[in-house]
Amino acid sequence: MEYRTVQTTCTYCGCGCGLLLEVMDEGLVGTLPLKTHPINEGTLCIKGWSVHEFVESEKRLQYPLVRKNGDFLETGWDDVLGLVASRIMEIRDKFGPDSIAFLSSAKCTNEENYLLQKLARAVVGTNNVDHCARL
């Protein structure tokens, strides 16, 4: 028999609210706001309150899919990254760097967002960088 709560940070937006995931016998059963967190001080929005539901959702994408002839096919990471890199360079060479835009995410860390804009600006050569945090 085990019941514990695990402190973590909400992944939904850039606020960084502290939350607790309720773990019962290794299963994720609920979410609570972390009352002593300096950002959210024991409050959450509806998305934060529901975090435990998406973690084990059947609808969650768990591996890369590549569309071939209209169907999504499960593909390995190396193949997918190779495909994305070659297609991006192909498009850049044909239509110019500003034909490409990079969409980052508030769900990523600062460091990951930094890396994405670096890739956009230094490798591809465009300032077309945006993100989903226009809440």
Q: Residue 131 has which token pair?
A: 């993100």
In the complex, the residues that contact another protein under the rule CB under 8 A are 1-5, 7, 18, 20, 22, 24-25, 29-30, 32-37, 40, 42-46, 48-49
Nearer to another protein, 9 or 126 (CB): 9
Q: What is the rounded CA–CA span in Å between residue 99 and residue 7?
A: 42
The whole-angstrom separation of Cα 117 and Cα 108 is 12
**Tokens encoding 109:** 């860390």
Work out how close the CB of 60 gets to another protein at its nearest, in angstroms, rounded to a whole number: 20
21 or 106: whose CB is closer to another protein? Answer: 21
Q: Which tokens hold the place of 111?
A: 């460091």
The CB-of-3 to another protein minimum distance in angstroms stands at: 4
